[in-house]
Amino acid sequence: MKKIFFLFLFAAINVVAFNQVIEGTVLKIGTDSVIYSATIYFDGAFVGTLSDKNGNFRLDISKYASMPLTVSSIGYYSVTLTNYPTDKPLKIYLTPKVYELNEVVISSKPHFRKRNEYLKVFKDEFLGTTYNAHNCDIINENDITFNYGSCQDTLRAFATNPIIINNMALGYKMTYYLDKFEYYRRSRSFLFTGNLIFNEDLIRDKTDNNLSALSYKKRRHSTYLGSRMHFFRALWEDGLTDAGFTIKNSDDDFLSYKDIVRQEDSHRQDSLNRYIKYIIRSENLRIFYTGVTTMIFFKPRLYFNKDGQFDNTAVTWEGEMLIKRIGDMLPYEYIDSGNISR
C-alpha cells in the first residue's frame, strides 16, 4: 500500500550565514500590517524566536547555516526561506488561511458524533502507530476540527492553533504548525504538510542517574537506528556500511555512495563556501536495515545535509521508514552516543 508522506518543506539551496544574527519583520501579505508573536525557527530543531509587537525579530543562525528558516503564525500558512541575505533586515510575508473557514464543519451533528473516530484516524496517520506514537499526548485536541469532502472520501483536519505534543516516550515537548492534512478513505493513503519546532528536552532537567532520563536516552537511541535521520547522516559521511545500511536498485544491484551521491561547491559572494550533496538516481531504490524501505524520486535531485535533513517533497516512502512519523521525530540537535546501558 502506497502512502505519500510530506513532512518537511526543504530545498538545499544556499543559506547565507556570514553574520551570526539575522533581523527582520513579519507582515501580512499584501499589506503593511505586522504580525505579532510569529515564530521564526529552524524546522525540526530547538532554535527559534518570536516577533515582537512591531513584528520584528532577531535570531542567531550561526549553528544552523545549512538549514532553511521557517516562519509560522496562528491563522497563516508557514513560509520557508532557503536563500536570504544577512546584511540587511528581512521582510517576510505570510498568507492567511481564510478559505479553510468555509470548509470546516463545526456544528454538524453527524460530525460531532464521529469526532472520536476522526481523531483516531488523525492520530494514527499524523503521530504514527509505534510505541513512541502511542505515548504522545496532543494537549490541545479541541483545536483540531474535521470534515469530509463532498465525495465523502477525503477526511480533512484543520488546527486553529499550533498542535502541542508531549512525547513521553522520547522526553520531548513539541509544537507543530499544521498547514494541510488529508486522509483518503478508499486508498487508505494520506498527505500532511507543516512544520515542527522542539520546545523542551526533559532530560535537561534530570541527572544521568535518573531512571526517566536513562529511559529517554535508550528510547532515543533505538528510535534513531534505521531512521531517515540515521540514513542521511550515514550517507553524508559515506558510512552506510558501517551504519548497517545497504542500498539496491530495481535490478537488485548493490549501490555505493559513489553510485548515487553528487556534490556542488557553493562560491557565492554572499554565502559560505560549503558543499551541498544530493542523490541523483531517478529509479526506485531499496534501503535495507532491519526492514525494507523504497524511495521513489520524482524530482531530478534529492538534496540532503550533514544533520540528516532532506527534501521530503522529492521522495515517496514505503515500508519501515514510513511507519515512523511525528511520534518518532528527533531534533536535528540529537547526537547518537551509541549503545546505552546502566
| Structure confidence by residue, pLDDT tens digits, 223-261 | 999 999 999 999 999 999 999 999 999 889 999 999 999
For 116-140, what is the mean pLDDT? 95
pLDDT of residue 9: 34
Q: How many CB atoms lie within 10 A of CB 96?
A: 15
Q: What is the mean pLDDT of residues 332-338?
A: 89
As a whole number of Å, the end-to-end CA separation of the chain is 40
Residue 59 CA to residue 79 CA, distance in Å, equals 16
Spatial CA neighbour of 88 closest among 162, 174, 1, 18: 18
Cell numbers found for residue 103: 470548509
Task: Answer with the residue of higher pLDDT: 341 or 58.
Answer: 58
Look at residue 313 and tell me whether its pLDDT is greater than 60. yes
CATH 2.60.40.1120 for domain 21-96: yes
In contact, 282 and 249? CB cutoff 8 Å? no
Read off the pTM. 0.84
Q: What is the pLDDT of residue 115?
A: 85
pLDDT given at position 88: 86
Q: What Å distances lie between residue 281 and 4, 241, 255, 260, 297, CA to CA? A: 19, 19, 10, 6, 7
Q: Among the listed ranges 20-24, 42-46, 267-271, 322-326, which one has the minimum average pLDDT value?
A: 267-271
pLDDT band with cut points at 50, 70 and 90 for residue 12: very low
pLDDT at res. 268: 43
Domain boundaries, the chain: 21-96, 100-205, 228-323
Distance CA 246, CA 244 (A): 7
- 218 three-class SS: helix
Dihedral pair phi/psi, residue 89, rounded to 5°: -60, 145
When pLDDT is cut at 50, 70 and 90, the band that residue 292 belongs to is: confident
